[in-house]
Amino acid sequence: MAQKINLLLNKKLIISIGFLLMVTLFMGCMASVIDSNVEIADRRWTYRNHISTTFEIKDNTKAYNIYFKFRHTADYKYANIFILAHFKDGKKVITRRYQYKLAKNDGEWLGSGSGNVFSYTLPMLTNYHFPGNGKFEIEIEQNMRDNPLLEVSDVGLFVGLAQ
């Protein structure tokens, strides 16, 4: 019985490592404009704690992909996350609400796991053309019922050239 459990755990570990390598290779093949991660103090993400990332677009004729990066512990109590993303170009602000599924119906986390922490790189905008060259800012805020939202360890953003 113990051998079966060890074999099952080893299989899950190998699959998780393989998935993490695939994501790393995928992200590594994309030219990055910004790749940010912000640690959430005490794993308590409050409504007031907006995660803001500023970056510069030098060639708006090219298409870009924008991803929301999210990490939580196994004690995160929801199977999803709702966020508000505020896209700012200096003149105007466009706010969009996103919902991401984080777990299967049986409770198994969909993210890549390392110990007690699960990581996700989730699409926000794909093949997006910025309206012009210059500085842009994306501000992320949690939009769940709980304040603070517990067991969130990191939040970030990845902006890269679409391939």
Query: Measuring CA to CA, which residue among 155, 143, 139 is closest to residue 43?
Result: 155
Model pLDDT, residue 104: 96
- Looking at residue 42, the DSSP 8-state letter turns out to be G
**pLDDT mean over 119-140:** 97
Query: Measuring CA to CA, which residue among 139, 123, 136, 157 is closest to residue 57?
Result: 136
Model pLDDT, residue 32: 78
Beta-bridge partner residues of 39: 154
| pTM for this entry | 0.79
The Cα–Cα gap between 32 and 95 comes to 23
- Please say if the pLDDT value at position 1 is more than 90: no
The Cα–Cα gap between 138 and 34 comes to 11
For the chain, give the mean pLDDT. Answer: 87
Q: CA-CA distances (angstroms) from residue 11 to 3, 25, 84, 120?
A: 12, 21, 36, 20
Residues of the chain with pLDDT > 90, as a percent, come to 75
Residue 22 corresponds to which amino acid? M
Residue tagged 């200096």 (tokens): 90
- Please say if the pLDDT value at position 17 is more than 80: no
Helix (H, G, I), strand (E, B) or coil at 147: coil
Model pLDDT, residue 90: 82
Both structure tokens of 58: 């030098």
- Looking at residue 50, the DSSP 8-state letter turns out to be -
Under CATH, to which class is 2-161 assigned?
Answer: mainly beta
Residue 114 pLDDT grade (very low, low, confident, very high; cuts 50, 70, 90): confident
Q: Is 119 exposed, middle or buried (0-12, 13-18, 19+ CB in 10 A)?
A: buried
Q: How far apart are the first and last CA of the chain?
A: 47
pLDDT tens-digit series, residues 149-161: 999 999 999 999 9
pLDDT tens-digit series, residues 41-99: 999 999 999 999 999 999 999 999 999 999 999 999 999 999 999 999 888 999 999 99
